[in-house]
Amino acid sequence: MNGKSDAGLWQAGWYRFARRLESPNFGPRPAGAQIDLIVLHSISLPPGVYGGHQVQELFTNRLDWDADPYFDRIRGLQVSSHFYVRRDGELWQFVSCDERAWHAGASRWRGRDNCNDDSIGIELEGLEGEPFEDAQYETLASLCPVLAQHYPVAFIAGHEHIAPGRKQDPGSGFDWLALQGALAWPHTMFPESTGLR
């Protein structure tokens, strides 16, 4: 961590420029966890519907399960992500990055299981396979370097890469090449299947 140069940006794992809405769905990271992975996801509730507050309600256990027929399929689900990026680029934070959010589920990356233990989860408002907005890439291009300045980030991957066969997000509509160009991070930080290495 680079405590001096970014001290004004963080307070106990909370990022200054994100809208804070605390989720009860989190826990401590294991002792000695290296927070070296960023995991990108996509989410919309109901799927393909944008602009509401259902994602925020899901992450804070306040979703009205009877408000839409789709919600019955996820009834009782308790999940969270560290960050959520709206279609217009607005950034929300639900869990301190120092804590373990519940975003990855059964997963494996760089020889380790349980990616929740040592990753930071970022949900993008969108539908797997569909394009994302320029404003979302702009937010990622500003957020990811700040994370890498504060934590020992060495990799960035999609949910589809850490849980292949089980998850497909953010999907084929996500432009990994555009993100890599914006971040100017080495190709080795990205999954092989993105075509960047």
Tokens of 147: 């994370």
State the average pLDDT for the chain.
95
- Let me know if 57 is a catalytic residue: no
In this predicted structure, the answer to whether residue 1 has a pLDDT above a threshold of 50 is no
- Rounded distance between C-alpha atoms, residue 159 and residue 141, angstroms: 18
Mean pLDDT value of segment 62-73? 97
- Rounded distance between C-alpha atoms, residue 161 and residue 169, angstroms: 9
- Cβ proximity of 125 and 172 under 8 Å: no
Mean pLDDT value of segment 102-126? 97
Selection from 171, 179, 72 nearest residue 129 by Cα = 171
In this prediction the pTM is: 0.96
% of the chain with per-residue pLDDT over 90? 93
Selection from 167, 131, 114, 120 nearest residue 15 by Cα = 120
Active site residue: 123, 125, 128, 160, which one? 123
- Rounded distance between C-alpha atoms, residue 173 and residue 80, angstroms: 23
Tokens of 22: 């605390």
In this predicted structure, the answer to whether residue 2 has a pLDDT above a threshold of 50 is no
